Structure 1
Amino acid sequence: MSPWRLFAVCWMLACGERGEAGSVAPVADAGVTGATVPRAVAPTSCAGERDEAAALRCWVELLAGPELGGRDNGSPGGAAARAAIVAGVRAYGLEMAGETGSFEQPLPRGANVLARVPGRDPARAGEHVVLAAHYDHLGEVDGVVHPGADDNASGVAVALAVVRRLAADPPARSVLLAAFDAEEPPDYRTPSMGSDYFVARPTIAREQLVAVVCLDLMGGDLWDGYRSPLYVMGRETFVRPPAPALREDPRLPVRAMHLRLVEELPHGRQAFSDHGAFFGSEIPSLFVSTGRSPHYHQPSDTPETLKYDKMLAAVDVVEAHVRVLADMPDRPAWARDQPLRSADAAVLAELLAAGLGEGGVRGTDEFTGLARPRLLADLARARALAGAGREPGEAEARELIAISLRAQCLLTVDHEVPTAACLLL
């Protein structure tokens, strides 16, 4: 098993003018530097789509379409995806925030797309909240295209919808849209990963980057038949957790979750998306995801598998968090003390109960058979810690992390890790 597969095992969570007939028309000025896009993958954009729900679907279908071949960074499809995003942010009225008066930051392979919504308050406009989503995917694996609709055309589509709203009504601080390249292997967790490269060589002074909201896997469900929540992770990295309070939405449950529950692996802590570079620099970090669906890193990760009503609801949630961070009177500050809370145990218990089929919720086959007795015990323990009337200590926090890792491991596709191995975690 390659290292990136091992990391994936432990992660429940790592479009142009349209014509009247719905065809995508090419944009003449792609704005791409250092790349030649073949005619077969000519750049297009969804910026002309006025309806927000239709625009979300358009962006996903464009980025995950067969013409882009899976958007491997450094490929013609990756360059076409980048050109489409550049055309979109230009049409939405965002400012260039890349290198040498452009929307791009060249990487060893590919390039990041960086665009800015200027803040309305002159006193705070120099500070930037980063809204990040990587646009690359795996390309071809063993000759088979992996479209990457959920991973991460969905995140890019949601981010573009949010900045479109922000451009029409800017917050006090500026917002930097960072569509990162090179998030996937072989660049993952190397200096050439798009987010790592940006944090090491920011086009905006690092001290002006006050927070990041990272989007990855925004349109799927953890298993078929279960409307899994949108997890907002990382609130513990802020001295004052960013409001608003998480509210129920019939289209999309929203839950706060501690990052340790998905990132603290047996060999050490491991971030699974582009927030990791910011977290490592002690920049307050939110990681927002609906979780790793059964289509994760599979050829079946196609546009028709996504839940677009869920994505539309996610736009509201992400916009609300970005606006709170960008409008806070005081600059967001890094919290050095980041304990797990009883609320984290409650969220974990909710997931386990759903997977086990409690309360009429359709469970998952991965939680049956050999795994079921262990998970029933895990559920009882999580509920006990959630209802203890006090916050868990460090030893109890480690129990919760182990419970979370077992569940995450079991939710991977069966051929990656046997059930018995997951139960040893």
Structure 2
Amino acid sequence: MNPLAAQLRQDTEAICYADGRKVGTPGHERARLHLLRRLEEIGCLPFAGDSLELPYHHRKQDFCNLVGRIPGQDSRLPPLLIGAHYDSVIPFPCADDNAAAVAIALQAGRMIRDKGGLRRDVVIAIFDAEEPPYFLGDAMGSQRFYADHVAGKVAIHAAVVMDLVGHDISVPGEMLGIIPGVGLLNLLLPGFGRKDFAVPHLRSGLFVTGSESHAELPPVLQSFGQPPDLRVIATQNCYIGDVSDHGVFRRNGVPYWFLSCGQWAHYHTPTDTPDRLNYDKMAAVTNYLVQMVEGLDGRELRGERKTEQITETIELEAEFLRSALGILHRPVMRWAGLKDVKTREDMDQFARALLGMGLGVL
């Protein structure tokens, strides 16, 4: 395990308590105090006021977002934001949801600091209360952060938000029938088609949505190409919806990317434990995230930002899909009933096929 992967594992395990991080519990309080120290250790300065803690109150309950900034060369410029939530949905470790993303945000902040910062400030936002019963409600941490500390006060240049980014992508055994010879296993092994398998070629997949939020985002993403250790699939938010903390930025016209590996077998279950995560993959996601933020830092992102203006990104999506699938592109297209993805209608059909298999769903 490389040093970055080892540090990611340490940061992840540090908040994966047996009793979880549900809002209002002792585990949630321990996580808050630990993450406050980690933000200080990586060199974050307060984003608002004189504290990294941004507490708020709703219906007799206390919450706390943890938000700091890595100073850039010109703090007068609109800052970039890296975001992830730290609460858990159940009283169990919830490693992938969402301790892994928090660990990646911390390490990305450290790496940016070690480089001497960027041109702009980089905000590291560790949001509270993303999980039900607070999801999309007035107590949701990202929504309160935006309403209390951004709207009418700060122009966020762009945001990159993460959720469920620590696991290998698995596919149903039924889908493996597209590979010559494998289809026989459906006949020889009862129940094979109902099991999920991490296929070496696809396990390193990472979904990136949001490039449609600004006309300059597709060329920025294209400039990176496929990273060596990931298979990036770019798609539009309409296929998954506002399933996490990126939603408030989308709805307010902030250019954004949302990173996720989608749901998996351990989503919202007691078995979402640190030992099941792929820390080498998380290291690759961290490096890619830093590259994304650096790319955004160098772009002015000119043009009016309106939530109803959507950039058509089908060429970007098709390019990344072909690159991510590689040698599996042709059999996967056949499985989806397509020759290729060239139009929005093609992508709609492909997305329906994935969703029908339970893939790509958050």
TM-score, length-scaled by structure 1:
0.68
Q: Is the Cα contact below 8 Å between 1:246 and 1:255 reproduced in 2?
A: no
Structure 1: distance between partners of 2:131 and 2:33: 19
- Match of 2:84, SS state, is strand
Q: What is aligned with 1:364? A: none
Deviation string, structure 1 residues 30-54 (Cα, Å, up to 9, x no partner):
xxxxxxxxxxxxxxxxxxxx94322
Q: Specify the code of the residue in structure 2 equivalent to 1:225.
A: A
* Preserved contact between residue 98 and residue 163 of structure 2 (Cα < 8 Å): yes
Question: How far apart are the structure 2 equivalents of 1:404 and 1:256?
Answer: 12
State whether structure 2 residue 107 is matched by structure 1 residue 161.
yes
- Residues 60 and 303 in structure 1, CA contact (< 8 A), matched pair in contact too: yes
Q: Which amino acid in 2 is paired with 1:213?
A: V
Q: In structure 2, what is the equivalent of residue 384 of structure 1?
A: 340
Q: What residue identity is the alignment partner of 1:101? A: D
2:80–2:120 CA contact under 8 A, matched in 1: yes
1:103 aligns with 2:56: no
Separation of aligned partners in 2, 1:70 and 1:332 = 43
- Residue aligning to 1:139: 90
- Tell me: CA distance 1:164–1:123, structure 2 relative to 1, closer, same or farther (3 Å): same
* More divergent stretch after superposition (152-161 vs 403-412): 403-412
Distance of 1:334 and 1:203 partners within structure 2? 15
Tell me which amino acid in the other structure corresponds to 1:384. D
1:112 corresponds in structure 2 to 65
Deviation at 1:402, TM superposition (A): 5.0
**Using the alignment, how far apart are the partners of 2:206 and 2:143 within structure 1?**
25
TM-aligned CA deviation for residue 255 of structure 1: 2.9
Distance 2:154 2:76 in 1: 15
1:337 CA displacement: 3.2
1:406, distance to aligned residue in structure 2 (A): 4.2
Q: Distance in 2 between matches of 1:123 and 1:90?
A: 22
C-alpha spacing 1:122/1:210, structure 2 compared with 1 (3 Å): closer
1:123 Cα offset (Å)? 4.9
1:60-100 CA deviation, whole Å, 9 max, x = no partner?
Answer: 1111132xx221122111111111111011111110124x5
1:384 Cα deviation from its structure 2 partner: 3.4
Equivalent residue for 1:73? 23
Q: Deviations over 1:341-368 (max 9, x none)?
A: 14435656788x79xx95899xxxxxxx
Q: How does 1:242-253 map to 2 (within 5 A)?
A: 243=220, 245-253=223-231
- C-alpha RMSD of the superposition: 3.0
Q: Contact 1:79–1:110 at 8 Å: present in 2 too?
A: no
Quote the offset at 1:254 in angstroms: 2.2
SS of the residue aligned with 1:133? strand
Q: 1:393-414 deviations in whole A, cap 9, x for unaligned? A: xxxx3563354144224227xx
1:86 aligns with 2:36: yes
- Name the SS of the counterpart of 1:63 in structure 2: coil
Which SS does the other structure have where 1:139 is aligned? coil
- 1:208 aligned counterpart, secondary structure: coil
Counterpart residue number, 2:189: none
C-alpha separation in 2, matches of 1:275 and 1:359: 29
Contact 2:84–2:162 at 8 Å: present in 1 too? Answer: yes
Q: CA 1:343–1:123 in 2, change beyond 3 Å: closer, same or farther? A: closer
- Cα distance in 1 for partners of 2:295, 2:316 equals 22
Of residues 205, 214, 235, the one that matches 1:257 is 235
Report what 1:218 is aligned to.
165
Q: Which amino acid aligns with 2:250?
A: F
**Paired residue secondary structure (2:126):** strand
- Greater mean alpha carbon deviation, residues 216-225 or residues 399-408: 399-408
After TM superposition, give the deviation of residue 248 of structure 1 in Å.
Answer: 3.4
1:322 to 269, 290, 293: 293
For structure 2, the 5+ residue unaligned runs are 171-196
1:248 and 1:163 map into 2 onto residues whose CA distance is 22
Determine whether 1:175 maps to 2:122. yes
Q: Secondary structure at the match of 2:164?
A: coil
Q: Which amino acid aligns with 2:295?
A: V
Superposition misfits of 4+ residues, deviation over 6 angstroms? 375-378
Are 2:215 and 2:311, in contact at CA under 8 Å, matched by a contact in 1? no
For residue 220 of structure 2, what is the amino acid of its counterpart? A
- Could you tell me which amino acid in structure 2 is paired with residue 328 of structure 1? R
Residue 11 of structure 2 aligns with an amino acid whose one-letter code is W
Of 337, 343, 347, the match for 1:400: 347
Instruction: Specify the alignment match of 1:129 in structure 2.
Output: 80
Aligned equivalent of 1:61, options 13, 38, 42: 13
Q: 2:337 is aligned with what amino acid?
A: A
**Which ranges of structure 1 fall in alignment gaps of 5 or more residues?**
1-49, 264-269, 362-374, 387-391, 413-425
What SS does the aligned partner of 1:337 have? coil
The structural deviation recorded for 1:122 is: 5.2
Cα gap change, 1:105/1:411 in structure 2, threshold over 3 Å: closer, same or farther? same
Given that residues 83 and 127 in structure 2 are in contact (C-alpha distance below 8 angstroms), is that contact kept between their aligned partners in structure 1?
A: yes
Q: 2:246 — aligned with what?
A: 275
- Normalised by the length of structure 2, the TM-score is 0.79
* Residues 304-361 of structure 1: CA deviation (Å, up to 9, x unaligned): 111111010111110011112123255586372322414435656788x79xx95899
C-alpha contact (below 8 Å) 1:132/1:213 kept by paired residues: yes
One-letter amino acid of the counterpart of residue 243, structure 1: V
More RCO (CA 8 Å, sep 6+) = 2
